[in-house]
Structure 1
Amino acid sequence: MSQPPLRFPRPVRPGDRIGVTSPSAGVADAAATRIDFCVEWLRARGYDVVVGDCMDGAGLTSAPARERAAELTRMLADPDIRCVLPPWGGETAIDLVDLVDWERLADADPTWLVGFSDLSTVLVPVTTRLGWASIHGDNLADTPYAVPDGLLHWLDLVGGEGPFVQRGSGLVTDWWRFEEDPRATEWKRVGTGEWELEGGGDLDVTGRLIGGCVETIVNLAGTPYGDVRAWAETFDEPTIVYVEACEEHAVNICRYLHGMRLAGWFDRAAAVLVGSTVAPDHRDLTQRGAVLDALGRLGLPIVWDLEIGHVPPHLPLVNGALAHVVVDGEVREITQTLA
């Protein structure tokens, strides 16, 4: 399959159809109440939401891999569906990447795929293999949460032409448990935080965005579904790689990042963006130390504690967008251009 040119899906506006399917974990028990609320939240804003068959939360995944891959392919190829969104992540979306009908999708108009966590496993090949821009942002369960000052909602990105300017929110938040409030729309505020440039100083850099959750995207490194080195070589600009850790301790994160480095993920990088994390340190290695052990030898600028992962709120990033990142004095800013 030859490398296609980068394509940006058309804007998604009220009245357009959004497809919901679970490429990884499904929905059960108290979580179902939350997802029903989120679907109605989107419908109340004018979107035509259709929910697929692969949503069962009784097991590890929502359905057998072939069924999940077929439903995801069908929704992404359907010209009436303008955006596809999972309820949340999960554990083993890796089992469907070679079952997706990539040839069928290559002949279809691009559709927005939005989400994070285990969905990173699908977002990366959608961009690097298929050539469609995709969005690392809120899953459906997070979508109703109000966006703090400085950030944008993923609906703003899929619904606009750009450029999209976002600034550090200065916040650290958390989710409300579904049992506490399945209709929550305001993040639980737990602290403050700020982007920080490793070693201090200023940064002004531009590149194509690519990245995701370390624990999931590492499994794509060195395969046809995560050949970032080859993808990056198709552009005149360098890349900006973003990574975030969910829950693995620092030693494993260190190993994973070394594996990604050896597979060429950072060969054309101009900078690395690292999301805030509550993943545990090892007694002899911190999470920051893990990143520095694996990537410090590259001499790349590293920006810490962006709102791009499992510590909300969420700063949505467009895989494939041309991003301009500035860390200078009081300025903490990223501008994404869909071109």
Structure 2
Amino acid sequence: MTQTGAAASGPRRLLLVAGSGRSGTSVLASTLQMLGAHIPGPEVLPDETNPKGFGESQWVVDFHDRLLRRSNVRVTDARPQAWFDAGRMSTLERVREELSTWLAEQYADDVREVVIKDPRLAWFLGLWRSAALRHGVEQSYVVMLRPPTEVVGSKQKYYNATLGETGRMASWVNAMLHTERATRGGRRAFVHYHDLLDDWTRPVYALGERLGIESVRSASATKIRRVHDLIDPSLHRVRTTWDDLDVPKGLRELADETWEQLVVLADQDLESPSLHASLDDLRARYTQYYEEAEAIAQSSVLAAARQKRKPTDGSKPDPAPVPPATGLSHRLRRAVRPRGRSDRR
């Protein structure tokens, strides 16, 4: 792909689209692509969970997936410790060199603005930052925001049920708090999913001005019409509320407070020390909350591990005495089964 006009003559830019899966990242990435930015191909093919396309480079997905497997981290990992485990991959020079080499190749043929979007991206933002710095590429972050109840409801509807509502909500809190921290201090913007569907021109053009995205600022009428054809308010199919979810009170409070603080960042454009301190406090509280739950559930974890282990004499293991499809041990065993493609997003 080549870029023409102002977009082809400006500085090289890297636009990193982050946020939880099912929060509108695909729609935004595809919008930027239609307006003239470049998503490296080949792209991940559409499927029944996202029929209009993911806006993702297959190379990027495979690269991130390989690093997560080596880190023993899931895309939807709710463990605060998982950020440190995944982060170790970013310190390996061979990994840094692999990404750096690939990124440099994407700016051939007059490409000036590259868009990277993948639900796994947040785990490796530091790695991408390093690659961009090596090549003098300007980097910006766009974080998509959708109410956590709708994110969880959408994942429950479209993805395999390897995680329940509580696990998915914990994953959302963990992901959003650490994504905020990883992008803090960089050139960033927050975009509401609902605003994108209601009238995409307002948030996208504001994004173009804030981050200096020339492909947005110089988009032709033909490209704009293509985006109008892409974005349909009917995409807002899931409208889950707290009344529809069974989530512990403590986790619900953490999710609500996290959402409220992120909305302040998005709506008031407020990057203040006091707001950052509140988000840091939320991240510390979530870590404590998770570690307490982990300690309480230790017996269930050990029971699940014992049942998974096969006897040395070749006999079949006795079934564990847990209620069918309800006990924590059951959910833990299901979590280690092979996952379908959609559940890995």
> Do both proteins adopt the same fold according to a TM-score greater than 0.5, normalized to the shorter chain?
no
Report the TM-score when normalising by structure 1.
0.32
- Structure with bigger strand share is 1
Tell me which of the two structures has the higher relative contact order, counting C-alpha pairs closer than 8 angstroms and 6 or more residues apart: 2
Report the TM-score when normalising by structure 2.
0.31
From the CA coordinates, give the structure whose radius of gyration is larger.
2
